[in-house]
Amino acid sequence: MILDQNALLSGSVSAVGVLTGQAVTATAVSTNTYDTAPLTLGANQPNDIGRGEPLEVAISVLATVTAAGAATVNFELIQADDAALSVNVETLVQTGAVPKTSLTAGTLVALHYDRAAPLAARRYIGVRYTVGTGPLTAGTFTAALVKNIADVANIYAKSGFVVV
């Protein structure tokens, strides 16, 4: 898989190509958002990400999730009118409550965006992590828009390659 830094919703890539995840200990939104407004239509005209080829969101657990109690995490692909993902937020797809015992390092959580979703397009998309049933005390995640989850699962390449 080629990871496009512009399609990375959670986490970051250093100048030397090291991928670092977003620490999540309570309900939070992704560190990055994807601006769907194409340059040719202007800043206030969101583009429907459901057009064209199917998209997936690959969420990877980089560090083992630990928690007090029976913590769960619900992973959601969301859209909103602002980059902070706080105005007119809508959930496009979600996993439901995933128990902490299923979130070991190296786990891949996949979200498939249904291109026939009935919601009107909003300008920004991102990921929301909703922690339920007890706080997390550790957990590091990356989330990225990808063409195909199968490309992500068992293919590893040399570190340091980033498409910008």
5-153: CATH, from 2.30.38.10, 3.10.450.50, 2.60.120.1110, 2.170.150.70: 2.60.120.1110
Please state, as a whole number, how many other Cβ atoms lie within 10 Å of the Cβ of residue 26: 9
More confident of the two residues 103 and 152: 103
Residue where the block lists tokens 């399609």: 7
Cite the DSSP H helix spans in the chain.
150-153
pLDDT reported for residue 2: 60
- Mean pLDDT computed over every residue of the chain: 80
SS3 150: helix
More confident of the two residues 13 and 155: 13
Please state, as a whole number, how many other Cβ atoms lie within 10 Å of the Cβ of residue 52: 9
- pTM, two decimals, is 0.81
pLDDT reported for residue 144: 92
pLDDT reported for residue 153: 46
Q: What is the pLDDT of residues 31-67, one digit of tens each?
A: 999 888 766 555 566 666 656 677 889 999 887 676 6
85: left (phi > 0), else alpha (psi -120 to 50), else beta? left
